Amino acid sequence: GKEFLSNIDQENFAKKLVNSGKAKYVAVSLGVKGAFLACKEGLFYQSTPSVQVKSTIGAGDSMVAGLIYGINKGYKPKEILKMGVACGVATIMSEGTSLASIENIKKVQQLMSSWSLALIKLKENPSYIFNKSGILKTIIDGYHFISKM
């Protein structure tokens, strides 16, 4: 285990594990901000769509299950990560200790596929800006996410 790491430190540590051959994939949950996956192909980020949170119980385990599903199905890294995030988000849409349903996983995948996402490093505080084209710009911890709404 590691103490709290900054975003850059998380990325570097994940890449180090992959480059050393200790892991083929390293997934890091960023909570409400999404997750990233490190592998030999590079770093892939996936943000989470906004949904109504009913319970967070099992969300992390569901994300791992989705990642494993994607790996076992031979998905490309970006799709592996999308499946993991979709399963985690679908679980928080369920009451109590219920886990992700196929219906909710599909809903989340539709939400994620409708987003156009760009990641640009910035050194600004969190903010949200809508422009005339319906683009939501979100700046969180130095990362700039652009989502088409």
- State whether residue 93 is helix, strand or coil: coil
How big, in percent rounded to 5, are the helix, strand and coil portions of the chain? 40, 20, 40
Tokens 């385990």 -> residue: 61
Which residue in the list 9, 41, 61, 124 is annotated as catalytic? 61
141 flagged as catalytic: no
State how far the Cα of 143 lies from the Cα of 89, in Å rounded to an integer. Answer: 20
What angle in degrees, to the nearest 10, is found between the helix axes of 77-92 and 102-113? 120
* Residues with active-site annotation: 61
